Amino acid sequence: MDRKHLANAIRALSMDGVQQANSGHPGAPMGMADIAEVLWRTHLNHNPTNPNWVDRDRFVLSNGHGSMLIYSLLHLSGYDLSIDDLKQFRQLHSKTPGHPEYGYAPGIETTTGPLGQGITNAVGMAIAEKTLAAQFNRDNFDIVDHHTYAFMGDGCLMEGISHEACSLAGTLGLGKLIAFWDDNGISIDGEVEDWFSDDTPKRFEAYGWQVIANVDGHDPIAINTAIEEAKADSSRPTLICTKTIIGFGSPNKSGSHDCHGAPLGADEILATRKQLGWNYGSFEIPSEIYAQWNAAEAGSAKEATWNQKLADYEKAYPELASEFKRRTSGELPDQWQELSQKVIDDLQANPADIASRKASQNALEAFGKILPEFLGGSADLAPSNLTMWSGSKAISAEDASGNYMHYGVREFGMTAIMNGIALHGGFVPYGATFLMFMEYARNAMRMAALMKIQNIQVYTHDSIGLGEDGPTHQPVEQIASLRLTPNMITWRPCDQVESAVAWKLAIERKDAPSALIFSRQNLAQQPRNQQQLTDITKGGYILKDCSAKPDLILIATGSEVELAINSAAELAAQGKQIRVVSMPSTDTFDKQSVEYRESVLPSEVTKRIAIEAGIADYWYKYVGFDGAIIGMTTFGESAPAGELFKMFGFTVDNIVGKATELLK
């Protein structure tokens, strides 16, 4: 059968789906249909009957607005995505939302739509593949051997994150990464030449990529030749520059922005069918085309061959095979609970007054020896973030067997790459920067929360307590914004014990990203009994109680917990009944039972003071209108930390004064 006709099946389904929804982007799927047909039918190793086959090729549609392209491909290839699912495109509770969303339909490797992040996820997947292969492959046993393919458009290339990720991909020599640039010259606003005139091939050559330029994106032979050339170069990632016509086949709208983000219209669809020679009705695919597209049998055979290879590998390397299976299934080591709890118990028994960033490094040192799946990194701040431990080994183009990434000054790229690593599987990724610079990476963390995947971010230098670097580096509103993000877990521990608990829970939490907030300055370790040690995991707990019903409750996090303890002692000396609540994770506390939350913050005690060197407004939900908040309402200043804490009211005298006023 003519390959054009097979590609036209994609075009027909895409324009029909968008038309039925009366919403969507038909242009990109119609323009990239020929490329997709060659890649998916000739080169992509996948198994529609087992979308989670460990050694499958990964496919990422970075230009996610063209989502009907991937939905059509999945349906035609034999995945569990029916024609009725395609008819429900962009409808409530459908498996085919407006942009591809991870977890909705089988075969969707990542959520895409925010441009540039898909190709960056793909870089993360390629890093994971290369590193996992270096750690587990042995002579004659390439049990990790797959490619990562990504489609992207002009918008992905305009977004700065693509520079961050693709630059690093070249440096790391990710030879199994192959990206296709849909060079159609059109975006929503029209012809891009007036605002995007970069020499893209030279840009990627400068990154160290193999660049295959001037490929006719509608010529299957040229496309196939380009893919073969890309696969032959194992030392460099490849950019295939495919010249396409957006909305290919539409007689009146192809080649213009009219078909970018709007349905073609019923009359234009009829004209397109005629021009393409597609003589079938809406959502109608003849059986002979389904037969040519269906990849279930071939995919099952490919996986069976791999399964036999894995079985032979297991006979030759039983311990490695067992570890490979454990890691790729996402399971923690058998003794994890016992060993990790011992680390925490030992820390409580051996007090140390240290910065929580140092406590974080100590936790990494302890847990890293248990978790070979750790894949850490930092955005050029490892000596400050303390994200390296004695077992850290840098990953490079020449040797990818390590467990640590030097991401360079690429906060956004780092975070989205980590999403790709997590989605690939086999690793527990963590990264780091100063808390202030999570602003560069916010959207990638939001995507991790949206996808419900693990991404552990270490954010240090957590307040005005970092001092002399001044307000450009001093976070104020950042912790609150992290806490307000749905499905994100945020921890701001007060000492080395809470820090280790935060790390333990972040490692165990596979369905949400975690933001671990650590201090630059030293923090005093707090005494605890066994019940209090257990209650840390609940996000908020009574750290110091009084002998009767509390007159007032002090609620604090991080470096301000010690301040709350000292203030409580001063107030107790005045005859006041004061309870101190440490609340390292407000979102975790909010998920506890009503009974537990009431036991910590009884509703009858309305006199409360929240103390945190972050934006004050966040804390009204805990102190109400009868309480007070000692927090930030402005940006910081450049001065030593001690002077700043005094200036902004983080002192025992100020807290005691506020308490006295509340208790009048």
Cβ atoms 382, 414 nearer than 8 A: no
Closest CA to 425 of 151, 142, 127, 138: 127
User: What are the binding residues for Mg(2+)?
Assistant: 154, 184, 186
Instruction: Say what the alpha-carbon torsion angle 477, 480, 485, 491 is, to the nearest 10 degrees.
Output: 120
- The sign of the CA dihedral 377, 383, 384, 388 is positive
Find the catalytic residue in 373, 411, 498, 612: 411
- CA Rg value for the chain: 28
Catalytic residue check, 411: yes
Instruction: Show the DSSP H helices in 350-405 as ranges.
Output: 356-368, 382-385
Instruction: Show the DSSP H helices in 484-578 as ranges.
Output: 496-508, 530-535, 560-573
User: What are the binding residues?
Assistant: 25, 65, 113-115, 154-155, 184, 186, 260, 357, 384, 437, 461, 469, 473, 520
Rounded distance between C-alpha atoms, residue 111 and residue 102, angstroms: 5
Closest CA to 552 of 654, 651, 653, 659: 659
DSSP secondary structure string for all residues of 250-275: -TTTTTSGGGTSS---HHHHHHHHHH
Rounded distance between C-alpha atoms, residue 382 and residue 386, angstroms: 5
User: What are the binding residues for thiamine diphosphate?
Assistant: 65, 113-115, 155, 184, 260, 437
Rounded distance between C-alpha atoms, residue 515 and residue 479, angstroms: 9
Element containing residue 202 per DSSP (H, E): helix 200-207
> What are the C-alpha distances in Å from 442 to residues 126, 411, 461?
23, 9, 17
Active site residues: 411
